[in-house]
Amino acid sequence: MEARIDYYGNAVGAKFVKYMQSANWALSNSTLPAATQELVKIRASQINGCGVCTDMHTKDAAHSGESSVRLNLIAAWREATVFTDAERAALELTEQGTRTADTAGVSDAVWARAAAHYDEEQLASLVSLISLINAFNRLNLIVRQPAGDYQPGQWA
């Protein structure tokens, strides 16, 4: 499988991705826990079927010390006992923020559960991260960016 275009080698595409990566850098330096950030990126990428982002973020999370048990259970987080209440709230917000056509947006109850665990700065980071990973997912899906050969830290 080959990408439809060399998006990252294209002048406009590379410039756009550079700005997206700058936004990601700002979020990675926020007070939202790094483990939560990876869980959010992985879950949104799973929902969207983005192989590139699922590959990247599962490998980065494992490289950072995330357990294989937790990584393997992200898609089934509701039934899994390995996530904190705060992580569960973030995953629920991620799902509703990603499946907007199915959920008519984020419900007040889901927002309240997230707000019970995260302060305003962390909520802003969480909302921004959900939006950003969905944008990365769509970019990669549209150009059919192939997945599987990512190495941890490759885009750092």
Please give the Cα distance from 109 to 95 (Å, whole number): 13
Is 3 inside a domain boundary? no
Q: Average of pLDDT values for 72-95?
A: 98
**Rounded CA gap, 154 and 84, in Å?**
29
Instruction: Supply the pTM of this predicted model.
Output: 0.94
Domain of 115, in residue numbers: 36-143
The domain tally of the chain equals: 1
CA distance 114 to 64: 24
For the domain that residue 109 is a member of, what is the CATH number?
Answer: 1.20.1290.10
**For residue 86, is it within any domain?**
yes
- The answer to the question of residue 130 being in a domain is yes
Please check whether residue 44 lies inside any domain of the structure.
yes
Q: Is residue 94 part of a domain?
A: yes
Tell me whether residue 43 is in a domain. yes
| Average pLDDT of span 100-106 | 88
Asked if residue 150 has pLDDT above 90, the reply is no
Residue 22 within any structural domain of the chain: no
